[in-house]
Amino acid sequence: MSTRPFQISALSPILEYAPQRPDAPGSPWKSDSGSMVNSNANTGNPGRYLQGTGTVTVQGFGTGFSIAGSLQGVYCSYTAVLSAGAGNKHDTSSISPQTAPPATGMLAQFTGLENDNWVLKLRGDCSNGSFLKITQAVIDGWVGGDGGTVSNNTLDDQSNQLRYSDVDWGQTKGLAAPFYGDSQHYTGVSGATMNLTFSGTAIVVWSSVDNQHGPYSVALRKASDPYTDDGVAVRTGFNPFLAVPVPFFFASGLNPSQQYTLTLKNRATNGTYLDLDYISIYTSTGGGPPNGGFSGLLAPAPKKNNLPIIIGAVVGGVALLLLLLVLIWFIRKRRTTRVQRNQGTRPLDDQKGSSNDHVIPLQTHGNVTPYRTPGSPFTHESQALLQGSPQQGSIPMSSTMSTTTGGYDPYAAFGGGYPTPHSSSVHGSSIIDPVQARRQGKAAEIEAARERMRHGNNGSTGMLSPTTPNPATSTTNSTFGPSWETSSHGQSSSDPSSMPATHIPHRTPDDPPPSYYQT
């Protein structure tokens, strides 16, 4: 079994500081002031220091975990706890927390562990001017199996194995050491990515930090799994001063026979940058890692079960269709009912006349037949009169009749010429002219009024009985009006001179022919 110590600078985003990142407003963690270039050489012993209460965490796959640093002052205490990481089934009850430096320059050190995923967390509490300083973390990471040969392959930022997203990236050349290969890629575009597919047992991504760097993420997955942002940890490359090179990502305990894809992504805010200097890949000819290896792989995106969505869409569509059909049926039924009401569905003889119906007695030769004025529904009596066969006692009229049966022309005094009635044929039956019918009915009304007036004068309540015209009536009757019954004063109604002035009839074109009345 082969392991290698991987040093991770205190300035590296791989170390997780809480409750806030170093140098954030209100954070108990601060960064050393000054200018440090080569973080690997620990020039100026740069690091982070704690004034107050806070934690620092490091995790990975290996056999040893340590945090280097020191205490300044007497009013500072801490506790370092090692716990099993994801997938680790080892018993940790025998691993005691550390509360004092186990060695010079060390705050916590756990070695001789089983190759597995572990988490080391140090919690400090410092006050009254005392502080705790962190300089680096060290992980003894697994890089190869027993009897295997381990090699290190370094890819410069200009390597054609690195796939940068389109034109989102720029490049700076002519850089001096400690930059690797005198160049560096950078991007200020949010969402810009770099992808690398490889095989190996461990990998380290190197970059730089300064006050113009910001959030980023690194995701490692099996090459056969699609990329997803779910579960990807976001870190920050911010630091008050420039530090190069600084590890941005570390993973050991990989399977050399497995292909992996690493995705570096800029999560820039307010135009912050992400740099890439080089990548170190360790390989081995031995077997795969024990205990399942590195557990920090990006979990594949779960396959979506679209069956409930499909079922819901189908059921919802069918329900909507049924609702539309019911609505259409209801509208059509309502419209049909309304049309039937407007057109009428009852027989004519069942319909009741409106309150405005006006029935006029229609006088024919020998009888009086009610006639309903146009504009109101006709009764079956009026229909029989206008369209049916002649009533008993009435005189059939043809479409060619232009004079009365007695040869009398009631319109001779007004220019002559009896009006020719309108006619039409309905199934071969003759139709009485409505105009003539109205005139005859009006004559009957006038005579009825006169009769009521006459009986009112003599106290009689007799009813008017129209009679059949008499061709033998006198000229006087034909000229001046009907024969009047003897009044209660014994005067003859046939003598106009014997009638009071108020009873002298005034003739109009609409007055009935005198021959209609019996002398």
Checking if the pLDDT of 266 tops 90, the result is: yes
The mean pLDDT of the chain is: 76
Asked if residue 140 is part of any domain, the answer here is: yes
Residues near 463 by beta carbon (within 8 Å), at least 6 away in sequence? 451
Q: What are phi and psi of 260, to 5 degrees?
A: -125, 160
Highest-confidence segment of 227-241, 255-269, 364-378, 436-450: 255-269
For residue range 338-354, list pLDDT tens digits in order. 666 666 555 444 444 44
CATH number for the domain that contains residue 264: 2.60.120.260
For residue range 383-421, list pLDDT tens digits in order. 444 444 444 444 444 444 444 444 444 445 444 444 444
Nearest Cα neighbor of 48 from 75, 74, 73, 20 is: 20
Indicate the number of domains in the chain.
1
Asked if residue 130 is part of any domain, the answer here is: yes
Q: How are beta strands 2-9 and 48-50 bridged, if at all?
A: unpaired
Residues near 126 by beta carbon (within 8 Å), at least 6 away in sequence? 50, 51, 52, 53, 73, 75, 76, 77, 132
For residue range 57-82, list pLDDT tens digits in order. 999 999 999 999 999 888 999 999 99
The residue-averaged pLDDT of 74-95 equals 92
More confident residue, 251 or 308: 251
Asked if residue 442 is part of any domain, the answer here is: no
Asked if residue 229 is part of any domain, the answer here is: yes
Distance CA 411, CA 356 (A): 32
Distance CA 110, CA 97 (A): 10
Asked if residue 513 is part of any domain, the answer here is: no
Nearest Cα neighbor of 257 from 199, 204, 298 is: 199
Per-residue pLDDT, 439: 72
Per-residue pLDDT, 35: 53
Radius of gyration of the chain (CA): 60
Give the CA-trace dihedral at 257, 263, 264, 265, to 10 degrees: -170
Of the chain, the percentage scoring pLDDT greater than 70 comes to: 64
Asked if residue 88 is part of any domain, the answer here is: yes
Per-residue pLDDT, 9: 93
The residue-averaged pLDDT of 217-236 equals 92
Answering whether pTM is above 0.85, one says no
Asked if residue 167 is part of any domain, the answer here is: yes
Nearest Cα neighbor of 224 from 193, 261, 180 is: 261
Distance CA 259, CA 201 (A): 10
Q: Which domain holds residue 211?
A: 2-292
For residue range 109-153, list pLDDT tens digits in order. 999 999 999 999 999 999 988 999 999 999 999 999 887 899 999
- How many CB atoms are located within 10 Å of the residue 450 CB? 17
Asked if residue 111 is part of any domain, the answer here is: yes
What three-state secondary structure class fits 480?
Answer: helix
Q: What pairs with residue 276 in β-bridges?
A: 185
